[in-house]
């Protein structure tokens, strides 16, 4: 039985011209070879399966070719090219950094680099997955990578450039490989299918290319898998069955259900999708992508962004004409929110079903210009109408009564109330002064101030025009003082806290004194003196109240004692406490 070679190896590019999707990089490499301006170290980075190692091999083969072509390609006729094609070349070395990531492996490599090549000009070292090297191995490799021998060229390949040390990056020429486009993958798969004698449908190749996610190696591996499944006749249905891909037919049907408001059918369709083994998160991301493709299809200039076959593109264009732009915007937003909340949701199926209900409830009747279609059915409201809605409904009741007398001519009439008219002043709601009832749960001295201030409810009372001279007590003064502190704005929060800790004292019937700890507190309080006195005049009903600020002396200031000081003072007052402490061996925590 003949040995089978997978398509990824059989159709691996052997020249720069045959590399798919990396024209800019291959052109740069060919020009460097043609001009003889070769660097001593290169870094090829990019996603998997885009041609990094393949380009490194072609580059190593070409720079050692004895008779290169005019366009910078290898001749494939000289001894060096034949040795490379037969995999017996001693000038090209490939190392896997994942399995040779120790310092010893790098040291042996450094020793080998010193030996010049026997055939050709250069010894090329291709180190794949170079980000797997340890930090010690990188440090041991730095000097050789910076100043290698004339005959040595290093090509490093990696899928994770961010893991490399900056000292490595600065010593290399960096080439970033791009993901291969869907159309390029489809064209290459079509050429492979023609050479292998495989019948394929364009839609089937499109699904394979999208599943490969920009990697040609993945696309060829999937192609071989589907060929084995279909025995050489690849159809769209066979591909989605074999790869377990959610068919876009579901999304077309689901969007039609949304446009007609068929919520029940949408939920049943989602249930059938779950029964086939598809994940809810995969389904909702596919629905968001379908809305995106519909939005792209609404404009001719954005149609190239739609990576589907021509027949499917026409279906997208037809359905996009029946969808309003606002419907697609809101649908993508709802699906994106569901995708973000899917992982943290405890009832994932309910979350997706609520999303489908929201999409089916999207109302876009106002967007008639863009071809939007309104909903034909809506879910009935769950809650009962409010009292206001009921009253508005009852106002429309006389119209139903009037319909019985449709045969009689309708005459304008004036509504007369059966009750005698009253003066508007009599219809006003009576106001009861609760303070006149003399009922309170507060102490008497608090009641007195509240009754006095019942007509002064503003945040900062204004002094009355008439001069007042009512007497007040120390409790009244303290309560008024705290009331002023409590009504200070947020910007005066520090002053409010200070005032809450101060208790004013009465010097005489109209003068009170406030004692503070330092000059800074006195200055802050002095700035509020005018407002405080105005507030006191209105709150205490006395126009002669005056405030005096005094900085307390050191002996007046109360110091906060520490725990040991408190214990020492208590033991001085009660000697038995010291005896208890010594007997039990207690210590203050």
Q: Each residue of 87-102: pLDDT tens digit?
A: 888 888 888 888 877 8
User: What confidence tier does 118 reach under pLDDT thresholds 50, 70, 90?
Assistant: confident
Average pLDDT value for residue range 352-372? 67
Average pLDDT value for residue range 453-466? 45
The per-residue pLDDT for range 234-283, each reduced to its tens digit, is 898 888 888 888 888 899 999 999 998 889 999 999 999 999 888 899 99
User: What confidence tier does 442 reach under pLDDT thresholds 50, 70, 90?
Assistant: very low
542 shares a domain with 500: yes
Whole-structure pTM value: 0.56
Predicted pLDDT of residue 437: 44
Contact 137, 127 (CB under 8 A): no
**Structural domain tally of the chain?**
4
29 shares a domain with 113: yes
User: What confidence tier does 432 reach under pLDDT thresholds 50, 70, 90?
Assistant: very low
Contact 245, 211 (CB under 8 A): yes
Predicted pLDDT of residue 394: 47
Q: Which helix (H) or strand (E) holds 525?
A: helix 519-527
User: What confidence tier does 192 reach under pLDDT thresholds 50, 70, 90?
Assistant: very high
Predicted pLDDT of residue 560: 57
104 shares a domain with 43: yes
Q: What is the CATH number of the domain that holds 340?
A: 1.20.272.10
546 shares a domain with 516: yes
Q: Which helix (H) or strand (E) holds 127?
A: strand 123-128
Average pLDDT value for residue range 56-77? 87
What rounded mean pLDDT belongs to the chain?
A: 80
201 shares a domain with 72: no
Q: What is the CATH number of the domain that holds 216?
A: 1.10.8.60
In a domain, 206, yes or no: yes
In a domain, 376, yes or no: no
User: What confidence tier does 341 reach under pLDDT thresholds 50, 70, 90?
Assistant: very high
User: What confidence tier does 569 reach under pLDDT thresholds 50, 70, 90?
Assistant: confident
464 shares a domain with 346: no
Q: What is the CATH number of the domain that holds 164?
A: 3.40.50.300
303 shares a domain with 158: no
For residue 464 the two structure tokens come to 């009355």
154 shares a domain with 18: yes
195 shares a domain with 164: no
121 shares a domain with 58: yes
d(CA 124, CA 95): 11
Q: Which of 268, 180, 188 lies closest to 223, judged by CA?
A: 188
Predicted pLDDT of residue 554: 59
Task: Pinpoint the alpha helices (H) of 64-151.
Answer: 79-85, 103-113, 135-146
Which of 194, 211, 243 is where one domain is finished? 243
206 shares a domain with 161: no
Region of poorest pLDDT, from 125-139, 529-543, 560-574: 560-574
Residue 91, judged by CB atoms within 10 A of its CB (0-12, 13-18, 19+), counts as: buried
- Percent of the chain past pLDDT 90, that is, above it, reads 22
In a domain, 256, yes or no: yes
Buried b / exposed e across 101-115, counting CB within 10 Å, b at 16+? bebebbeebeeebee
Predicted pLDDT of residue 363: 57
Which of 299, 331, 360 is where one domain is finished? 360
140 shares a domain with 37: yes
Predicted pLDDT of residue 292: 93
Identify the domain containing residue 279 by its residue range.
248-360
Average pLDDT value for residue range 538-554? 85
Please report the beta strands in 225-299, taking only residues with DSSP state E, as ranges in sequence order. 233-234
| Paired sense of beta strands 152-158 and 505-506, if any | unpaired
């Amino acid at each position: 039985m003949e040995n089978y070679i997978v398509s990824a190896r059989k159709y691996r590019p052997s020249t720069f011209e045959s590399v798919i999707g990396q024209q800019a990089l291959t052109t740069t490499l060919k020009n460097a070879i043609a001009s003889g301006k070769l660097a001593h170290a290169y870094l090829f980075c990019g996603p998997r399966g885009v041609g990094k190692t393949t380009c490194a091999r072609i580059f190593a083969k070409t720079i050692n070719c004895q008779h290169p072509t005019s366009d910078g390609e290898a001749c494939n006729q000289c001894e060096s090219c034949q040795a490379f094609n037969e995999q017996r070349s001693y000038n090209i070395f490939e190392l896997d950094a994942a399995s040779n990531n120790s310092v010893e492996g790098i040291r042996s490599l450094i020793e080998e680099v010193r030996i010049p090549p026997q055939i050709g000009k250069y010894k090329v070292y291709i180190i794949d997955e170079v980000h797997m090297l340890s930090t010690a191995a990188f440090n041991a490799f730095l000097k050789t990578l910076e100043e290698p021998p004339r005959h040595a060229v290093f090509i490093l390949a990696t899928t994770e450039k961010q893991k490399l040390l900056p000292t490595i990056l600065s010593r290399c020429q960096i080439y970033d490989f791009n993901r291969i486009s869907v159309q390029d993958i489809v064209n290459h798969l079509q050429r492979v299918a023609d050479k292998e004698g495989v019948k394929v449908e364009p839609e089937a190749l499109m699904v394979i290319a999208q599943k490969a996610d920009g990697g040609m190696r993945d696309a060829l591996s999937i192609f071989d898998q589907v060929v084995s499944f279909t025995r050489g006749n690849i159809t769209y249905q066979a591909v989605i069955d074999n790869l377990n891909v959610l068919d876009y037919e579901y999304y077309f049907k689901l969007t039609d259900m949304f446009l007609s408001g068929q919520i029940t059918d949408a939920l049943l369709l989602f249930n059938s999708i779950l029964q086939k083994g598809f994940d809810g998160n995969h389904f909702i991301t596919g629905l968001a992508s379908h809305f995106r493709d519909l939005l792209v299809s609404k404009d001719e200039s954005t149609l190239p962004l739609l990576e589907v076959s021509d027949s499917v593109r026409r279906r997208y264009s037809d359905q996009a004409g029946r969808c309003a732009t606002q419907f697609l915007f809101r649908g993508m937003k709802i699906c994106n929110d569901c995708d973000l909340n899917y992982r943290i949701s405890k009832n994932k199926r309910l979350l997706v079903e609520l999303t489908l209900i929201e999409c089916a409830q999207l109302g876009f009747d106002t967007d008639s210009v863009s071809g939007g279609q309104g909903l034909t059915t809506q879910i009935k409201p769950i809650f009962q109408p409010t009292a206001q809605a009921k009253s508005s409904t009852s106002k429309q009741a006389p119209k139903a009564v009037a319909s019985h007398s449709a045969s009689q001519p309708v005459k304008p009439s004036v509504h007369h109330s059966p009750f005698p008219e009253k003066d508007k002043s009599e219809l006003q709601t009576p106001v009861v002064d609760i303070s006149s009832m003399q009922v309170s749960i507060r102490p008497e001295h608090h009641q007195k101030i509240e009754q006095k201030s019942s007509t002064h409810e503003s945040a900062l009372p204004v002094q009355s025009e008439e001069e007042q001279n009512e007497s007040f007590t120390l409790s009244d003064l303290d309560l008024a003082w705290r009331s002023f502190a409590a009504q200070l704005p947020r910007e005066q929060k520090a002053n409010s806290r200070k005032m809450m800790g101060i208790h004013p004292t009465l010097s005489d019937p109209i003068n009170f004194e406030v004692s503070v700890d330092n000059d800074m507190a006195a200055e802050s309080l002095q700035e509020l003196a005018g407002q405080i006195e105005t507030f006191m005049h209105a709150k205490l009903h006395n126009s002669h109240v005056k405030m005096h600020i005094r900085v307390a002396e050191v002996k007046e200031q109360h110091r906060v004692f520490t725990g040991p000081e408190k214990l020492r003072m208590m033991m001085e007052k009660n000697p038995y406490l010291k005896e208890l402490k010594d007997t039990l061996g207690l210590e203050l925590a």
